[in-house]
Structures are given as structure tokens and as C-alpha cells.
Amino acid sequence: MAVQVSESDQIKQFKEFLGTYNKVTENCFMDCVRDFSSREVKPEESSCSESCLQKYLKMTQRISMRFQEYHIQQNEAMAASAGLLGQPR
């Protein structure tokens, strides 16, 4: 079953993505780029930027997993309180 996403929801999601992308880019840039005397990106700047992005992606993935675990626990608690858990169908 395919879920239809309205155009306004797609636009909202894209704007949220761009906002997040811009924040990550700015934060990693501010943390990693120190020298503006050359047009070339120095190896340590490149390495720092990659590490910064990887750290952000891992953090986001971990938060997402914890959020899912929390919702599973909440749903199980609600089902148990409603007496739905453990009863035969």
C-alpha cells in the first residue's frame, strides 16, 4: 500500500532537509576550516569535514533508533494497559 504525500508536505520535508543540510555544513565548516590563504582544501580540513559529517550521520541514526525503540515501548505499554497484550486472537 503506497502512501500518498501531498505536494505541500514534500515541499515542507525538502525545506527541513535543506535547513538541516545548511546547519551541518555550517557547523562542520566552522569547526574544520581555519586557513583561507589558499583556494585548495587542505587534507586535514577535508578529513575533519568527513569526520564531522560521519559523526552527525551516526548521531542521527542513533537518535532515530532510540526514537523507534521508545515508540515500541509506548505502544506495548498502551496495549498492556488496555489488556490487549498476551490475549489469544
pLDDT, tens digit (0-9, with 9 covering 90-100), for 8-65: 999 999 999 999 999 999 999 999 998 899 999 999 999 999 999 999 999 999 999 9
- Res. 87: pLDDT tops 70: no
CB-CB neighbours of 59 under 10 Å: 10
Residue 82 is predicted with a pLDDT of 81
- In terms of phi and psi (left: phi > 0; alpha: psi -120 to 50; beta: otherwise), the region of 88 is beta
Give ∠ CA 53-55-56 in degrees, rounded to 5: 65
Topology annotation, domain 7-82? Helix Hairpins (1.10.287)
Q: Nine-digit cell at 45?
A: 580540513
CA distance 55 to 26: 15
CA distance 28 to 48: 8
